[in-house]
Structure 1
Amino acid sequence: MKRAQEQNDSGNAGMLDWWKGKTLSCPAHLRARLERAVDDRHYREARFLAVLGVAITLVSLSVDLVTIPEHFALVAVLRLSVTLPFLVAVLAMPRKRLALQKLFLGAGLTAVSLTLLFASGFAPPPADAFMAMGVALMLGLTLPLLPFRRRGVLLFIAAVFVPAGFLVIYQQKVDGHAVTFLLILTLVATAAGILARRMRWLERRTILFALEAEDHVRELRMKNERLTELSTQDPLTGLANRRHASEVFQRHYSDESSSDGRRAALLMIDIDHFKAFNDDWGHQAGDDCLRAVAEQLRVTAETHGGLAARFGGEEFVVFLSVAGIREAKSVAEDVRMAIERLEMPRADHDAIAICTTSVGIAVREGKGFPDMRSLLGRADVALYRAKAAGRNRCVLAA
């Protein structure tokens, strides 16, 4: 109930702003998109009204044929020659010529109205009054639909009303009631003009709400993508986290050897004496060390079509698809040596920090599907042996 009341209050405020002539409030970042969307809609509406104008022009000739057959040829030539060129030009106009398209549309519809009034001058009473009222009907129907802004609506009303007034007064054929006809035309033009302004305001408001909704959806999508990314990444290093690494292994590595004989391999990497490194250089240097090692592992994994992940603390894992044990050992040794060559300048210590790693290697053996838990267990044992043997080395799991 409260939300409904707030929406109702918002709608009432919008009506008040419109009635007072205030411009619809639009965020700056949406202004250009709003104007472009409004122009696109106006272009389509102008084409629709041009088709409608052509249809009215052709159908109205049947009325002239029945009502004023002796003047039909004159009226038909006049109506077709002054209306069709403008309306056909509207249909042929490209989107970039929207202003000119609107001008031709206004001219074409004005010509339709005035030729209807001109034809009524040849009709006997009371048919002349009925035909003349077609102008008021035309004005009342087209004004709310015209894709014009406020100035365009006023110019269109003037373009129809002023010549129509002179023509009616000159002809004095509306059953002798020219003043009554002009009053009716004024009433129709005023009501239709107010309605047209209201509809244009609502049009912009609707488009603006749609654009804001698109932005909101896009923002939510980006946030969801970011949350998904954060749920699969280690926040410090940007590598895959353990959960995502397990999912990737199940999708891409937990199958039997491929037709070319390649097998799943797992490297478990641990930074040597990382606690001492933190004590000597500080925790900021420790974070820098983790990021530097992670970047090297990421490059290695991408080079060999694998995946690098941080499993926690200073422990990392790399999944690979290798031709055999020799390739796995070669990649592991390349990684170990690349990390050993990393240099991390420390301005606060006026020195360069370095680190080394121990690597345990496990390659799937035998037939059947590889199991990540089994590979991790074997690599962990191999890593323990590397540390026991003095660290900064690679050891293959038995």
Structure 2
Amino acid sequence: MSEGIVGAGRTLGRYELLVPIAEGGMASVWAARMKGQRGFQKIVAIKQMKPELTDDPNFETMFLDEASLVSRLRHPNLAEILDLGEEDDVLYQVMEFVDGEPLNRLLRQSRGGIPVPLAVRIVKEASAGLHMAHELRDEDGNLVNLVHRDVSLQNILVTYDGVTKVIDFGVAKAMSNLQKTNVGQVKGKVPYMSPEQAVGEPLDRRTDIFALGIVLFQLITGKHPFRGDTDLETIMRICSKDPVAPPSTHNKLVPPELDKLVQKALAKDRSARFATMSEMQRALEVVLPASQQASAEDLGRFMQQHLGDRGEKRRQSIQEAGRALDQAAALSGGPKTIPPPISSRGRMQTLPPSARVHQDNVATVADFPGAASRSALAAPPAPSARSLGLDVSTP
């Protein structure tokens, strides 16, 4: 296998990498520029599998399965995969660029939970997107029984326009015509596992309902319903027969009907949960009086108030990185000059002053678990990701 190479200005097909969005042990995600005929441009996200993992058939299978599944999903509350490619034997996905932030970052900034109407809107939209995923059918019209298996704060984004997007189907599985996970093999984040997931039982869509119930509990209380001091303690609490305490125990503004809804989603016996995400969505639509329901504009304003500066800095860094590449191309006298890339070991080749790039550190994020090689690249006159406040760490 040849060593995969990624860096600012690197071209993957018709996509130019601009600035890093997130990086972790399995993959790195970059904002990129898609270029077409007659000056057409579009900002997308590129998710590239780490080159050191390409020889592992399990990781490659997960990456390809995600692309195969999500490319067939079309819903305003799901982030789309637009393309799949391979460069230097390293796979990459081209995804919709979502101008927003993950819920764990929003919850951290809001300190202690977010207003109940906003939380209800977020989870209602997430449930709509997940229901569409659960209803995915094959060419013969049969359900493929898709389960996300990793619904969490980290994998739900909210845009600055107030739209919710579910992301990262990297450990999702359909039970037919795709690679299957062996019974007893556990995948997903421990704090969001259902009881059946924690013990390795066969899963269905109600596992995602349980995880989304945890997300809702966290949003309206600022607390996790089962979190222990260790993963083992958390799993023991999840698997305990004791029902979860109502959210109003922690937040007196939670109405009784919402208490009941959350407890139903978090029933330890899956047969007592909502049968489908659509059923949960319908319950969320009527759990608050019409006068108390939040709009997309309300959610967008909340995002701007708490994280607007961060979003603006990211947009600015993307624009400046694009201008820097254009300037380097103009100075070279050719249609474009791509700066020499950074290797996966982080070594930088020598560049002429007009197109020099600088390394900076980017923190790892929970979306991609594990240790990460840290490098952020930007070509002058664009400042570095760190100097622009492009901190991609999550709690």
TM range (shorter): under 0.3
Higher share in strand: 2
Structure index of larger Rg: 1
TM (normalized to structure 2)? 0.20
TM (normalized to structure 1)? 0.20
